[in-house]
Each structure stands twice: as C-alpha cells, then as structure tokens.
Amino acid sequence: MTPRMQLSIESPGWVTISYTEPATGERVTRTFRAPAGREGYVWENTHRCQQQVCEELAGTGTTLIASAETLPAVIRREYRRMRRAWARAEGMPA
C-alpha cells in the first residue's frame, strides 16, 4: 500500500507535505509558506531557492494565493488536484 500524503504545520504560515511520487516511487517532501495576517502568494522553499507555487503544486500556471490561516487547506486542495492530474495522465480513474 502506498503511504498517504502527510501534511504538517511547522509554524503559522509554514506547511510541509510528504508524498510518494507515482512515476518513481520515491518519497518527496516539500515546504510551502504564505504571509501571516494577509493573503499573498504561496512560495515553496527548496534547498536551492524559493519559487512561487501554481495550481496543482506546479511551477507554471495560475499562482496560488493564501494566508497563513488558509495555507493548509490550499495545499491539501492542490495536492488532490495534482494527484487527479497524474491519474488522468496514466489513464486511471482519479
């Protein structure tokens, strides 16, 4: 059985998710942040840089907007959208 996505709230405005990449079977961990006290762009922190995050947790497309309070829900929603896109690409039901 494939481990489910795990989401943890590191501190207000910071969320980390871990999931298994279906194409490689590797476990992936990603950290996102959003501004505290107001809505703003969602950013992903990587070991190399920071980048804005778009729909389906992609690097291109419509940029996600969230606040520290809404960030966990936004990341969950976009993770589900990313998984559905993977399933469609593989010709599997979502």
Predicted confidence (pLDDT) at residue 94 exceeds the cutoff of 90: no
C-alpha to C-alpha distance for 78 and 37, rounded to whole angstroms: 22
C-alpha to C-alpha distance for 47 and 26, rounded to whole angstroms: 18
- Residue 89: its pLDDT value, please? 82
Predicted confidence (pLDDT) at residue 86 exceeds the cutoff of 70: yes
Residues contacting 38, CB < 8 A, separation 6+: 67
Which pLDDT tens digit goes with each residue over 1-49?
456 899 999 899 999 999 998 888 899 999 999 998 899 999 999 878 8
Paired sense of beta strands 27-33 and 14-20, if any: antiparallel
* Residue from 61, 51, 63, 57 nearest 21 by CA: 57
Q: Which residue has the higher pLDDT, 63 or 93?
A: 63
Determine the average pLDDT of the residues in 67-90. 92
Question: In this structure, what token pair is assigned to residue 90?
Answer: 């593989």
